[in-house]
Structure 1
Amino acid sequence: MKIQLAIGLFASGMGLLGMPAWAEKADRDKPLLIEADAMRHDENKLLTHFTGQVVAYKGTMVLRGARMEVQQDKNGQQIAQIWAAPNERVFFRQKREGVDEFTEGEGEMAIYDSQADMVTLVQRAEVRILRGTVLADQITGQKIVFNNTTEVMTVDRPSPGTKATDPRDQRVRAVLTPRKTTPVTAPPATNSALPALRVSPAATESKKP
């Protein structure tokens, strides 16, 4: 049986500066809607567990994984942690503010902090920026953090000593595509810019027989 739970969130009241922002501004004021196969809630601890094909929605933000834990404080703010099934990764997607772009990400674990308006992807983390349906930017690392309040993304490499099958996995990697700019065209010339031709009377009289 699929379980649905809507959790109301308080707005942080902090504005985002610049365009485009990492996330759709209106998402912060939306409730957190969670679907799962099973749910267990502890009212004393304000802790809720979801298991089985978990999908969480908050405006345009989507998180998918195998299980999820939501810790709520007395002010209604939540920290949601979501884990993937073995050998899989959590999926994250959110629309960016003011443009036809989406941020997609994956990691073995994801954390959403409603008060800080922050999303964290951990272990085999990857982020993709889609402009429309076209892949523009791609970033990989050990941990990727989106701070939607400050509009800053940070990427950390694996800890020293971490074993990797590919030596390149010990480094942060990014492929960034330049944005296309609209060429500036010069305005068309008008007749007023050209001097008018005039026939002098002397030239006209010289042609008479």
Structure 2
Amino acid sequence: MKKLHALMAVLATVTALSATAAYAQSAPKADRDMPMNAEADALRYDDLKQTSVFTGNVVITKGTTIIRGERVDVRQDPQGYQFATVIAPAGKRAFYRKKREGVDEYIEGEGELIEYDSQADIVKFTRRAELRRYNGTTLVDETSGALITYNNNTDVFTVDGGAKNSTAANPTGRVRALLSPRTAAAPPKVAPTTTPGPVLRPSLRLGADKN
């Protein structure tokens, strides 16, 4: 009996640890506290300065966050927070994706340059910037401009069209956005009436008219 109780206690502990690990992986706001994993063709690491330079088909994962680019420069501060600068391949854009907390929604962004601050949980997309929100796999919102700043803590983003510094990629210097409504409008409620309606007589014949 004692062995059975001990086995049950071990199984309960393992189950609790597994649930905690699964929650940590699925909780986006915990991303900044997750370790940063990287894959690249080459790496230059400076332990004294706590900097890493990844080059060649770089893929960074940090919890639910995914970052892709041709070069990623990462600096870590004494508190352990990472600051990444992502440079896109020539003629292309770097990529960022993260799951939003508590909903089946994802934020995706692209830009020729992406800057990620894990301490403030803010990401910036520069030049040919684009930000998209997906509900599952369905595109819901999309916006583009010269500079987009997205705050993961508040789910607030700002877009600069770059009117003062228009480029060939955005010659108009205008912001473009497609924003879908969150929910469909509810039908208007009909106020109850106090006027008595007609009295209905019971019928013993199926389909008989009621007057």
Identify whether the pair has TM-score above 0.5, normalized to the shorter chain: yes
Q: For 1:175, which of 166, 171, 178 is the aligned residue?
A: 178
Instruction: Look up the match of 1:20.
Output: none
Alignment partners' CA distance in 1, 2:165 and 2:58: 33
1:43 to 36, 47, 54: 47
38 and 173 in structure 1: CA distance in 2 versus 1, 3 angstrom threshold: same
Is residue 135 of structure 1 aligned with residue 143 of structure 2?
A: no
Is the counterpart of residue 73 in structure 1 residue 74 in structure 2? no
Structure 2 matches for 1:28-39, cutoff 5 A?
28-39=32-43
TM-score (norm 2): 0.71
SS in 2 for 1:160: helix
Deviations 1:123-155 (A, max 9, x none): 100011111111111100111111123332111
Which structure has more RCO (C-alpha within 8 Å, separation ≥ 6)?
1
* Alignment-mate amino acid for residue 175 of structure 1: L
* Percent of residue pairs identical: 48
Partner Cα separation in structure 1 for residue 55 and residue 143 of structure 2 = 29
* CA-CA distance at 1:26 after TM superposition: 2.6
Kindly indicate whether residue 123 of structure 2 is the aligned counterpart of residue 119 of structure 1.
Answer: yes
> Is the Cα contact below 8 Å between 2:146 and 2:170 reproduced in 1?
no
Relative to 1, partners in 2 of residues 1:184 and 1:59: Cα closer, same or farther, differing over 3 Å? farther
- Give, as a single letter, the amino acid of the residue that structure 1 aligns with 2:174: R
Residue 82 (1) aligns with residue 86 (2): yes
Q: CA deviation at 1:32?
A: 1.1
Give the SS at the match of 2:164. Answer: coil
Q: 1:24, CA displacement in angstroms?
A: 2.1
Amino acid of the structure 1 residue aligned with 2:158: T
Distance in 2, matches of 1:130 and 1:79, equals 26
Tell me: CA distance 1:75–1:126, structure 2 relative to 1, closer, same or farther (3 Å). same
Counterpart for residue 67 of structure 2: 63
- Aligned counterpart in structure 2 of residue 146 of structure 1, from 147, 150, 155: 150
**CA apart distance, 1:163:** 3.2
Q: For residue 34 of structure 1, give the secondary structure of its aligned residue in structure 2.
A: strand
Q: Distance in 1 between matches of 2:165 and 2:88?
A: 24
Matched, 1:98 2:102: yes
Structure 1 residue 110 and structure 2 residue 148: aligned?
no
**Unmatched tracts of structure 2, length 5 or more:** 1-26, 190-198, 202-211
1:17 corresponds in structure 2 to: none
Post-superposition Cα deviations, 1:166-194, rounded to whole Å, max 9, x if no partner, equal 644x11111101123485799xxxxxxxx
Q: Deviations over 1:11-43 (max 9, x none)?
A: xxxxxxxxxxxx822323211111111111112
